[in-house]
Amino acid sequence: MAISEQTLETLEFPKIRERLARHTAFSASRDLALRLLPSTDAYVIRRRLKLTGEARRLLDERPDASIGGARDIRAAAGLARRGGVLDAAVFLEITNTLRSGRLLRAMLLKQDATAFALLREQAEGLPDLPAVEAAIASTIGEDGTVLDSASPKLGRLRAEVRVAFSRLQDKLQNMISSTTYGDSLQEPIITVRGGRYVVPVKASHKRNIRGLVHDQSASGATLYIEPIAIVEMNNKWRELQLAEEEEVARILAELSDRIGGYATEIVAGVEALATIDLAFAMAKYSLSLRCVEPEIVEDGEAKAEAVEDNAQSPASAAQPLLLLNQARHPLLDQSTVVPTDLYLGGEFRILLITGPNTGGKTVALKTTGLLALMAQSGLHIPADEPARLPVFGQIFADIGDEQSIEQSLSTFSSHMSNIIRILRALEPPAEGGARRPKAEGQASKDHLSDEELERLSNWRKVEPGEWAPLEPMFAEPQLALVLLDELGAGTDPVEGAALARAIIERLLALGVLGVATTHYAELKAFAYATEGVQNGSVEFDVETLGPTYKLTIGLPGRSNALAIARRLGLPDVLVDRARSMMAREDAQVEDLLAGIHREREAAALELQRTDELRADAEKYRERLSAELRDFERQREAEWQAARDQLDDELREVRGQLRRLRDEFRSVSVSRQWMEEAEKRLQEAQSQVKQITQPAPNPRAAIAEPPAQTQAPRPLQVGDSVLVRSVGLSGEILAIDEDEGTAEVQVGGFRMQADMAELRRETKSERQSKAEPRRSEPQRASLPSTPDVGMTFDMRGWRASEVVDKLDRYLNDAYLAGLPYVRLIHGKGTGALRQIVRDTLAGHPLVASHGGGGPDGGEGVTVARLVER
Tens-place pLDDT, residues 458-493: 445 445 445 454 444 444 457 899 999 888 777 777
Percent composition of the chain: helix, strand, coil (DSSP 3-state, to 5): 50, 15, 30
Q: How many CB atoms lie within 10 A of CB 738?
A: 5
List pLDDT tens digits, range 499-513: 888 899 999 988 899
List pLDDT tens digits, range 85-130: 999 899 999 999 999 999 999 999 999 989 999 999 999 999 899 9
Comparing C-alpha atoms, which of 113, 134, 119, 99 is closest to residue 51?
A: 119
Residue 610 DSSP one-character state: H
142-151, 534-543, 848-857 — most confident range = 142-151
% of residues, the chain, pLDDT over 90: 26
Is the confidence at residue 167, as pLDDT, over 60?
Answer: yes
Residue 286 DSSP one-character state: H
Is residue 540 helix, strand or coil? strand
* Contact yes or no for 107/55 (Cβ under 8 A): no
**pLDDT at residue 470, as a whole number:** 42
10-24, 634-648, 687-701, 848-862 — most confident range = 10-24
Instruction: Measure the CA–CA gap between 295 and 559, rounded to whole angstroms.
Output: 37
Residue 256's contacts (CB-CB under 8 Å, 6 or more residues apart) are 79, 80, 84, 85, 86
* Contact yes or no for 322/344 (Cβ under 8 A): yes
**pLDDT at residue 19, as a whole number:** 94
In this structure, the chain runs to a length of 868
- For residue 46, the one-letter residue type is R
The helix (run of H) or strand (run of E) holding residue 747 is: none
List beta partners, residue 352: 516, 535
**pLDDT at residue 439, as a whole number:** 40
Phi/psi class of residue 686: alpha, beta or left (left: φ > 0; alpha: ψ in -120 to 50)? Answer: alpha
pTM score, whole prediction: 0.60
Instruction: Measure the CA–CA gap between 838 and 860, rounded to whole angstroms.
Output: 14
Q: Model confidence at 359, in pLDDT bands (50, 70, 90)?
A: low
Mean pLDDT of the chain: 78
Q: Model confidence at 176, in pLDDT bands (50, 70, 90)?
A: confident
Comparing C-alpha atoms, which of 259, 252, 253, 254 is closest to residue 73?
A: 259
* Contact yes or no for 196/234 (Cβ under 8 A): yes
Instruction: Measure the CA–CA gap between 223 and 225, rounded to whole angstroms.
Output: 6
Phi/psi class of residue 854: alpha, beta or left (left: φ > 0; alpha: ψ in -120 to 50)? Answer: alpha
**pLDDT at residue 749, as a whole number:** 61
The packing angle between helices 228-261 and 263-289, to 10°, is 70
Instruction: Measure the CA–CA gap between 21 and 30, rounded to whole angstroms.
Output: 5
Q: Model confidence at 716, in pLDDT bands (50, 70, 90)?
A: confident
Q: Dump the DSSP string for 144-173.
A: SSB-GGG-HHHHHHHHHHHHHHHHHHHHHH
- The CA R_g of the chain, rounded to the nearest whole Å, is 50
* Contact yes or no for 127/266 (Cβ under 8 A): yes
Comparing C-alpha atoms, which of 178, 187, 183 is closest to residue 205?
A: 183
% of residues, the chain, pLDDT over 70: 75
* Contact yes or no for 761/718 (Cβ under 8 A): no
Is the confidence at residue 664, as pLDDT, over 80?
Answer: no
Report the alpha-carbon angle 860-865-868, nearest 5. 160
Is residue 584 helix, strand or coil? helix
Instruction: Measure the CA–CA gap between 641 and 216, rounded to whole angstroms.
Output: 108
Report all structural domains of the chain as residue ranges with CATH numbers, in order of start. Answer: 5-129+262-289 (1.10.1420), 150-254 (1.10.1420.10), 296-431+476-581 (3.40.50.300), 786-868 (3.30.1370.110)
Arithmetic mean of pLDDT, 786-790: 67
- Omega prior to 386 cis, within 30 of 0: yes
* Contact yes or no for 273/102 (Cβ under 8 A): no
Instruction: Measure the CA–CA gap between 18 and 285, rounded to whole angstroms.
Output: 11
Comparing C-alpha atoms, which of 528, 532, 529 is closest to residue 506?
A: 532
**pLDDT at residue 354, as a whole number:** 83
Comparing 791 with 577, which gets the higher pLDDT?
791
**pLDDT at residue 100, as a whole number:** 92
Instruction: Measure the CA–CA gap between 192 and 615, rounded to whole angstroms.
Output: 88
List beta partners, residue 196: 193
Question: For the chain, what is the largest distance between any 2 Cα atoms, rounded to a whole number of angstroms?
Answer: 157
Comparing 127 with 587, which gets the higher pLDDT?
127
Q: Any idea of the CA torsion for 83, 84, 89, 91, to the nearest 10 degrees?
A: -20
* Contact yes or no for 783/742 (Cβ under 8 A): no
Report the alpha-carbon angle 298-300-302, nearest 5. 70
Comparing C-alpha atoms, which of 50, 216, 45 is closest to residue 120?
A: 50
376-390, 430-444, 516-530, 609-623 — most confident range = 376-390
**pLDDT at residue 120, as a whole number:** 92
List pLDDT tens digits, range 200-257: 888 888 777 888 888 888 888 888 888 888 888 888 888 898 999 999 999 999 999 9
Q: Dump the DSSP string for 60-80.
A: HH-TT-S-TT----HHHHHHH
Instruction: Measure the CA–CA gap between 135 and 140, rounded to whole angstroms.
Output: 9
Phi/psi class of residue 712: alpha, beta or left (left: φ > 0; alpha: ψ in -120 to 50)? Answer: beta
- For residue 562, the one-letter residue type is L
Q: Model confidence at 306, in pLDDT bands (50, 70, 90)?
A: very low
- For residue 551, the one-letter residue type is L
The helix (run of H) or strand (run of E) holding residue 282 is: helix 263-289
Count the alpha carbons within 13 Å of 345 in the hemisphere toward its beta carbon. Answer: 28
Phi/psi class of residue 110: alpha, beta or left (left: φ > 0; alpha: ψ in -120 to 50)? Answer: alpha
Instruction: Measure the CA–CA gap between 153 and 147, rounded to whole angstroms.
Output: 12
Instruction: Measure the CA–CA gap between 679 and 698, rounded to whole angstroms.
Output: 32
